[in-house]
Amino acid sequence: MTINFRRNALQLSVAALFSSAFMANAADVTQVKVTVTDKQCEPMTITVNAGKTQFIIQNHSQKALEWEILKGVMVVEER
């Protein structure tokens, strides 16, 4: 019974360590919220620093949309 308790405690400790490391990394990522309607995108212009950025896009329009990240006129990424 002691061996099972130690094994379970070790597994729980390892799981907690990994989840806390993931949470710390997630907190370091800049989040940008974008809302799309039938008439506009808010904000209309976004500038971010180099590094990881998470875009949270809410589509309130009646149409499906495609999201493009541009650098000047060049498409860097699209979804």
Query: In this predicted model, what pLDDT tens digit does every residue of 20-51 receive, in sequence order?
Result: 555 545 668 999 999 999 998 899 888 888 88
Evaluate the omega torsion of the peptide bond into residue 43 and state whether it is cis, within 30 degrees of 0.
yes
* Whole-number pLDDT of residue 15: 52
What's the structural domain count of the chain? 1
- Type and span of the H or E element at 7: helix 2-28
Q: How far is CA 63 from CA 2, 39, 57, 76, in A?
A: 60, 11, 14, 23
pTM over 0.85: no
Q: Token pair for residue 27?
A: 């907190």
Q: Which domain holds residue 47?
A: 2-78
* Whole-number pLDDT of residue 2: 45
